[in-house]
């Protein structure tokens, strides 16, 4: 299926689905299109090959990440909701991008230890209350010169206070807050 058509379909589905779905855990909570475009440019500009995403949902953001990578690039994406994992898997197959994506099923806290080192690019879009607890392990997976992007940095600024403070205390990390979508925090690791 044509990627642009699939992305458009998922955008319409995401809006309708999240409007009628009262249970937050079942909502897709997809990134905005401009965030997808922004991530795509960042992946290409940084020549990223290995990407880690925390929070797959139904795979909308993963499609932006995977489709921006070179042929030998790969995305590892973590999700703990089995229905969403199945939906994402179907979307990856439809886009013909399934061979570039490894889905990791479970809680991010348990799965980080299984990931490869020297990841080029991390996209963080899951349970914000966990970010501070996983920060050290997460940034140890990112290679020097790599970039982490955190979604919701403006929309849920207060929830990220502890995480932001931890980052500010690391001498090898520098940040920029970009007003795209729900606010993207860029963290560069020197």
Ligand X SMILES: C[S@@+](CC[C@H](N)C(=O)[O-])C[C@H]1O[C@@H](n2cnc3c(N)ncnc32)[C@H](O)[C@@H]1O
Q: Which residues are near ligand X by CB under 6 A?
A: 29-31, 55, 57, 60-61, 78-81, 84, 107-108, 125-127, 130
Nearer to ligand X by Cβ, of 114 and 174: the residue is 114
**CA separation for the pair 73, 30 (Å, rounded):** 23
Interaxial angle between packed helices 3-20 and 33-45, expressed in degrees from 0 to 180 and rounded to the nearest 10: 140
**CA separation for the pair 50, 72 (Å, rounded):** 9
CB 91 within 8 A of CB 110: no
Nearer to ligand X by Cβ, of 102 and 174: the residue is 102
Interaxial angle between packed helices 161-168 and 131-141, expressed in degrees from 0 to 180 and rounded to the nearest 10: 40
Residue 155: CB minimum distance to ligand X, A? 11
Nearer to ligand X by Cβ, of 82 and 118: the residue is 82
Nearer to ligand X by Cβ, of 108 and 185: the residue is 108
Residue 161: CB minimum distance to ligand X, A? 19
Sheet holding 74-79, edge to edge: 101-105, 74-79, 50-54, 119-124, 142-150, 184-189, 173-178
Residue 72: CB minimum distance to ligand X, A? 23
**CA separation for the pair 114, 178 (Å, rounded):** 31
Residue 171: CB minimum distance to ligand X, A? 28
Nearer to ligand X by Cβ, of 55 and 183: the residue is 55
Residue 13: CB minimum distance to ligand X, A? 11
**CA separation for the pair 101, 74 (Å, rounded):** 6
CB 178 within 8 A of CB 186: yes
């Amino acid at each position: 299926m044509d990627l642009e058509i699939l992305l458009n379909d998922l955008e319409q589905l995401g809006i309708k689905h999240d409007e009628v779905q009262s249970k937050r855990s079942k909502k897709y909570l997809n990134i905005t299109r401009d965030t997808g475009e922004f991530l795509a440019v960042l992946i290409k500009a940084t020549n990223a090959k290995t990407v880690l995403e925390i929070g797959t949902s139904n795979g909308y953001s993963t499609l932006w990440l995977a489709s921006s990578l070179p042929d030998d690039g790969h995305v590892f994406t973590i999700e703990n909701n089995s229905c969403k994992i199945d939906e994402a898997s179907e979307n990856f197959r439809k886009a013909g991008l399934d061979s570039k994506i490894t889905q990791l099923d479970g809680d991010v806290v348990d799965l980080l230890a299984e990931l490869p080192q020297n990841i080029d690019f991390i996209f963080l879009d899951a349970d914000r209350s966990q970010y501070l607890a996983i920060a050290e392990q997460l940034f140890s997976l990112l290679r020097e010169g790599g970039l982490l992007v955190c979604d919701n940095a403006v929309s849920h600024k207060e929830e990220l206070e502890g995480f932001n403070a931890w980052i500010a205390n690391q001498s090898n990390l520098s940040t920029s807050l970009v007003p795209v979508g729900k606010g993207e925090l860029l963290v560069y690791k020197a």
